[in-house]
Structure 1
């Protein structure tokens, strides 16, 4: 005997998974799935807009999953930014906190990701500058995982550096290594937001040249391709490496001098070369920040300090909380019960 469906909800079977969603969402179609859950596109009958609904796969199966689910929900609620995917709605078909097992998050649907666009057509210089400007604007306080672009060339950052996942979790998809900064690949030191500026530099170079900048076959090959351009780490950087093994490994490499970026990118204009030069620095402490990037001459056409929001500080004090699965679950339940679509960032905390 099947359990009852909550009033105003529909039950559907999608790719062997049961979905229970409010009746306002119609025409559900599976568009992708990963280690964490499944995403469907749908039409929101209230706004007639296309949305993406994400169902997390067993969010409370372990402490790690529960905290990760809470983190994702909190981050999405916090973000109010043109260049970042925001939360339109969050709901659960479960009747009570005692029965609370599943929840769904609704976000705007964005058609294509940047990788796909780069593969299918050459971007004009002006579009590249515009996309990159939006990327930095969204990066001022975020970690990019995925970048999406709509018909008007508006870029959105989709899913944040929550995704510092292990390679295996990335469903065998290793290409992300190509955009990772060396300190992340090799765990050289505590990383900061500057890892995103490295990724952004790789993405910019690829948009302009149409070629992946550092297409390593494996981590070591990746490092070789990077050092071939950046030169081997100076002693100032070696001293910062926390791992002795990393330090002695890097010290044992043949010394290479930093390449002149004008020669690495002969076809690029001066400003683009200079910008890449400031982002693709081995030492994360010397890498340019998103804020500095925005005022770089390469982006002067779009730069407008007035319209580049510093978002309100995100309260991540929960990161240090030692709670059990049930407590994370009730925090999420409270967030869902207090969610107001007209004011998504007003959190229950």
Structure 2
């Protein structure tokens, strides 16, 4: 059933539900319908005030989604052609990549989220949209999307010629972990539960040989019952695309993930990035849940790397020789010796098992970092871990990301054709 949702019964559920105050801080809107080929909504919304803290672009985008518009700001109108089956309620998220609204599916009365993307404003947006759509369809087909955001429907364009926007209909979750951490303290039970669900989703990705590459609190959606789903797969890539990388490149290109959650091997240009970069992000997310603030809030590349070294200490000889980029090695050599700080000193009130989890995931050497399967089996997650109920997906075919491998040669019109075909062949009952 398209709009039927079942909540997973875990053996233990943390006490208390989440009611972040940020849910009350949505900007007002006005909706009007017009008689076009589809029902069209014009939502007037104040332009969000930029946060004062110095943050990376992607972190700014997450912040803007939760910030009220200034009374001095000029209102902006966002148009939604969502068809007669949906009634628009409110804008709930906004960034450079798209706008998300809450809506009601009229036939069923189910509340949903509709993500509007203008993929043809920039070639990168089209690539991200195509990646995300193909992956979400694949995870749904594999039956592993319980902790991954699902696509319930895609509003189909009237014609190829009029195709300018993508409307993804997805499950509605009231908030995300970034907002929750900013507005309330989390119990150790909540930390375990959120961490487990994140790792459970990550197992599905990694079993399919997919690296998310942009795990962060704002990409972990939550509802009041503490159910968690990973979203935003626009930067995700197959591990197969870097097993034989272009010698002119260092592993992945177009890596623009949020700096604060980047693994050191990404900062230092290791030749090939592995699934372990996601595990590093998971460790950073746990640290943030424990303290209420990011562990490595770097202002720029050098500051980010120095914050990491302030905690992990100067790399060992083996770790140093694993760095392939000469400039990175020279930079490390130029730095003063740093002694490693203990996670016990950073988080003196934390569960000792949480401290051990940090030690296993926040390692400088990716080869020594836990896999997601090891994370799930860690004693900190004993209350939830069940190997028989942590689904895996089949590895993706090597040609799944062909459009990514050929992106330099693919023009905007060909990308549009790829996207159009994906949308028109989408079957919501599949």
Q: TM-score range by the shorter chain?
A: 0.7 to 0.9
CA distance in 1, matches of 2:176, 2:319: 35
Which of 311, 314, 321 matches 1:232? 314
CA distance in 2, matches of 1:181, 1:47: 43
Find the residue that maps to 2:235 and give its secondary structure.
Answer: helix
Could you list the runs of 5+ residues in structure 1 that have no partner in the other structure? 171-175, 344-349
Q: 2:40, 2:83 within 8 Å by CA — same for their partners in 1?
A: no
- TM norm structure 1: 0.86
Find the residue that maps to 2:101 and give its secondary structure.
Answer: strand
For 1:29, the equivalent position in structure 2 comes to 90
CA distance in 2, matches of 1:218, 1:327: 36
Superposed CA deviations along residues 176-204 of structure 1, whole A, max 9, x for unmatched, are 42222222234344322211111111111
- TM norm structure 2: 0.71
Q: 1:66, 1:329 within 8 Å by CA — same for their partners in 2?
A: yes
For 1:159, the equivalent position in structure 2 comes to 232
**Further displaced range: 36-45 or 307-316:** 307-316
Map residues 104-115 of structure 1 onto 2, 5 A cutoff. 104-115=167-178
For 1:10, the equivalent position in structure 2 comes to 39
- Deviation of the 1:62 alpha carbon: 4.5
Map residues 75-86 of structure 1 onto 2, 5 A cutoff. 75-80=135-140, 81-86=145-150
Map residues 201-220 of structure 1 onto 2, 5 A cutoff. 201-220=283-302
Map residues 77-156 of structure 1 onto 2, 5 A cutoff. 77-80=137-140, 81-93=145-157, 95-140=158-203, 141=205, 143=212, 144-145=215-216, 146-156=219-229
Cα–Cα, structure 1 residues 17 and 268, in superposed 2: closer, same or farther, change >3 Å? closer
Find the residue that maps to 2:163 and give its secondary structure.
Answer: coil
Map residues 272-311 of structure 1 onto 2, 5 A cutoff. 272-311=354-393
Q: 1:90, 1:339 within 8 Å by CA — same for their partners in 2?
A: yes
For 2:339, the equivalent position in structure 1 comes to 257
Find the residue that maps to 2:368 and give its secondary structure.
Answer: coil
CA distance in 1, matches of 2:234, 2:331: 28
CA distance in 2, matches of 1:115, 1:33: 14
Q: 2:41, 2:88 within 8 Å by CA — same for their partners in 1?
A: no
- Deviation of the 1:14 alpha carbon: 2.4
CA distance in 2, matches of 1:182, 1:287: 12
Map residues 179-198 of structure 1 onto 2, 5 A cutoff. 179-198=261-280
**Further displaced range: 291-300 or 235-244:** 235-244
Aligned residues: 330
CA distance in 2, matches of 1:129, 1:18: 40
CA distance in 1, matches of 2:167, 2:234: 20
CA RMSD for the aligned pairs?
Answer: 2.4
